[in-house]
Chains A and B, each alone.
Chain A
Amino acid sequence: EVQLVESGGGLVQPGGSLRLSCAASGFTFRNYAMSWVRQAPGKGLEWVSTITGSDGSTYYADSVKGRFTISRGNSKNTLYLQMNSLTAGDTAIYHCAQNDAASGTVFDYWGQGALVTVSS
């Protein structure tokens, strides 16, 4: 059974940094692209970033490019999101998701998410 468990969320001041982790189990982690998708309170889903499984290529939404860094530790079956220069607009639940094996274009499995609150 695929399991994705996020951690590292919390309250951070504007301009601050936070690193999220996503512990993966139930599948061969290194073989899959992985993503972060966020959801602001009461709002819809927003794709944040994706990292491929094969060569670790990374992709970012314009809203976070230059501030967020996605990475992975294949030996630890863990996905990371380093978030810098945080603003109130980054307040959201951050879900990690497994991309499908065939094309990497959809999100097959999701974690419950970690809440990040940016406030002074």
Chain B
Amino acid sequence: EIVLTQSPGTLSLSPGERVTLSCRASQSLSSTYLAWYQQKPGQAPRLLIFDASKRPTGIPDRFSGSASGTDFTLTISRLEPEDFAVYYCQQYGDSPRRMWAFGQGTKVEIK
């Protein structure tokens, strides 16, 4: 079973600040299969980062991801007003069977 633990639960920050969100996996899986999503109230989640550090087309470069063993990080270099949202990490595993799992989320709120 994949268990992803995100920290902190909530961050209170001001626009312009740098943000670092953490996601720790319970087991060592391929870092290739780690993604981050952003969700705003009343909206569907949006893919921000895949393969731990790659951005889909259209995602601003202030969003970046990194990996170190079972620890994954999402960094927002400079918070914009539209970045206040909940962020989820997600991992995929295929042993012993295919499954997908999400972390519990980190809320980034305006201070």
Which A residues have a C-beta under 8 Å from some C-beta of B? 35, 37, 44-47, 50, 59, 61, 95, 100, 103, 105-113
Instruction: For B94, give the chain A residue with the smallest CB separation.
Output: A105
Residues of A within 8 A of B76 (CB): none
Residues of A within 8 A of B39 (CB): 45
> What distance in Å separates the Cβ of B70 from its nearest Cβ neighbour in chain A?
17
Residues of B within 8 A of A112 (CB): 43-44
Instruction: For B49, give the chain A residue with the smallest CB separation.
Output: A106
- CA–CA, A45 and B89, complex, Å: 10
Interface residues of chain B: helix, strand, loop or mixed (majority) = strand
B89-110 near A? 1/0 per residue, CB < 8 Å: 0101000011111111100000
Interface positions, chain B 33-57, Cβ under 8 Å from A, are: 33, 35, 37, 39, 43-47, 50, 56
Which B residues have a C-beta under 8 Å from some C-beta of A? 32-33, 35, 37, 39, 43-47, 50, 56, 86, 88, 90, 92, 97-105
State whether B99 touches A44 (Cβ < 8 A): no
> What distance in Å separates the Cβ of B38 from its nearest Cβ neighbour in chain A?
11
- CA–CA, A59 and B99, complex, Å: 7
> What distance in Å separates the Cβ of A32 from its nearest Cβ neighbour in chain B?
14
Known: A45-B37, A45-B39. 15 other contacts (CB 8 A): A44-B104, A45-B102, A50-B100, A59-B99, A61-B99, A95-B45, A100-B50, A103-B33, A103-B92, A105-B35, A106-B35, A106-B50, A107-B35, A107-B90, A111-B44
